[in-house]
A = this chain, B = another copy of it.
Amino acid sequence: MDSTADSTALLTDHYELTMLQAALKAGTAERRAVFELFPRRLAGGRRYGVVGGVGRALDAIEAFRFDTEQLAVLEGVVDGPTLEWLAGYRFTGDVWGYAEGETFFPQSPLVVVEASFAEAVVLETVLLSIYNHDSAIATAASRMTMAAGERPCIEMGSRRTHEAAAVAAARAAYVAGFTATSNLAALARFGVPTTGTSAHSFTLLHDSEEQAFQAQIASLGKGTTLLVDTYDITEAVAKAVELAGPELGAVRIDSGDLGQLAHDVRRQLDELGATETKIIVTSDLDEYAIAGLAAAPVDGYGVGTQLVTGSGHPTAGFVYKLVAREGASGDLEPVAKKSAAKTSIGGRKYALRRRDRKDVADAEVIGIGTPAAGDHNDRPLLTQLVKGGEIVGREPLDAARDRHRASVEELPVIAHSLLKGDPAIPTLFQ
């Protein structure tokens, strides 16, 4: 399992270090530089994105050190002077960024790194990995919790993604409003609440469904959730209430037409007097399926595959680009690539969320340098995360969770649309 004490320095592309080597030799490595991490667009015609991974990225910056083990691997990858430089590496620059849980739009400057070229370039891969993964998950999760309204969503996709990605996915989903995860490492690492009851194998292990239900109730109590679709659902629900009585916590349905079954099971539970017993549904749910079940008597959604794979968009598509660097004069000068379709905008950005008089967001305002004074109802979006190499942006995960809720609530109503379309607010360049 990952540990933040372990080095993150090799979670890096080979070319970051060969570029470093060439720049060290050319005498350009120490030029001051500004890199920005941003999305060119929103994936899949979505209305907004959600920033995930900030806390993990800060841990990764702090753990980005080359000790004997890492340096031994790099013999043959880079030359002696570069190894020597890496041995002394620690990030001493500044980082500003959107806080975790914040919503974002095309071109939002999610991270701004200012340091020497050498110090900043080597962070490219690991920062992109973390932000691209965690924000893809947080964005999908936010659409799901929005579609679910007041009903809880539970993350249970660990088995469908890389075992370490699963832990980060559980964390990102929690930021974006999920109430719990099945992943125990997410509890250990990030304090995300866990939940869970039983699988079909548990029923099949026993000589009968009745024996399985009895075993579960005896050990976990009547408040447990019984899985009722191993054989016949109607018989299972009858048996469940017979054994646990009306105190039965919940039943879970994991196959079939979930809407129809939820209606049938609700009626049966009510007729049996189990009016407080909840109905949890699972089985390849995504935001559209959740929205489609809004009228069904469902009390909670368990979401797996579609959550951990970003519901069709497993990566957020962020890039990390040099936007300014020290020129001959010693001042920072804007720089930008000019080739086809991948143009970037030179110069260090600021970013503001402009709101109308009712505090509803109406634009993402991005400019170069410092914003002009004015009487707009603007909320600054960049906050300092690292100051002179010291991590200053850490916060409890619940702060990110609260920010997510507030940021989504601030958006115009169109943000709730699951249909493909334009971003909920336009990006304005000043």
* Residues of chain A having any CB pair with chain B under 8 Å: 1-3, 6-8, 10-19, 21-26, 28, 31, 33, 35, 60, 69-70, 73-74, 77, 79, 117, 121, 124-126, 128-130, 132-134, 156, 158-168, 182-185, 187-188, 194-207, 211, 214-216, 218-220, 229-231, 233, 254-256, 305, 308-309, 314-315, 317, 320-322, 325, 327-328, 335-342
Q: For residue A3, which residues in chain B have a CB less than 8 angstroms away from its CB?
A: 6
- Contacting pair B220 A22 (CB below 8 A): yes
A314 touches B309 (CB 8 A): yes
Is the Cβ of A164 less than 8 Å from the Cβ of B161?
Answer: no
> How distant is A84 from chain B, measured CB to nearest CB, in Å?
15
Q: Which B residues lie within 8 Å of A200 (CB)?
A: 321-322, 337
Q: A129-B163, A165-B133, A165-B165 are in contact. Are A13 and B328 (CB under 8 A)?
A: no
Q: Can you name 17 A-B pairs with beta carbons within 8 Å?
A: A1-B8, A2-B2, A2-B6, A10-B184, A11-B164, A14-B182, A15-B196, A23-B215, A33-B205, A60-B163, A73-B187, A129-B159, A130-B163, A133-B161, A203-B337, A231-B339, A255-B339
A205 and B129 within 8 A (CB): no
Residue of B nearest to A206 (CB): B28
Question: So how many copies of this chain end up in the complex?
Answer: 2
Whether A11 contacts B204 by the Cβ 8 Å rule is: no
B314 lies within 8 A of A161 (CB)? yes
B202 near A22 with CB under 8 A, answer yes
Question: Which residue of A16, A195, A339 has the most chain B CB atoms within 10 A of its CB atom?
Answer: A339
Minimal beta-carbon separation of A164 from chain B (angstroms): 4
| B201 & A70 in contact (Cβ 8 Å cutoff) | no
Contact of A315 among B15, B31, B309 (CB under 8 A): B309
Determine whether the beta carbon of A161 is less than 8 Å from that of B132.
yes
Of B60, B231, B327, which one neighbours A338 at CB under 8 angstroms? B231
- Cβ contacts under 8 Å, A8 to chain B: 1, 163
Which residues from B are CB-within-8-Å of A315?
160-161, 305, 308-309
Cross-chain contact of A218 among B25, B198, B231 (Cβ < 8 A): B25
Least CB distance from A217 to B in Å reads 9
Whether A198 contacts B15 by the Cβ 8 Å rule is yes
Is B132 a contact of A159 with CB atoms below 8 Å? yes
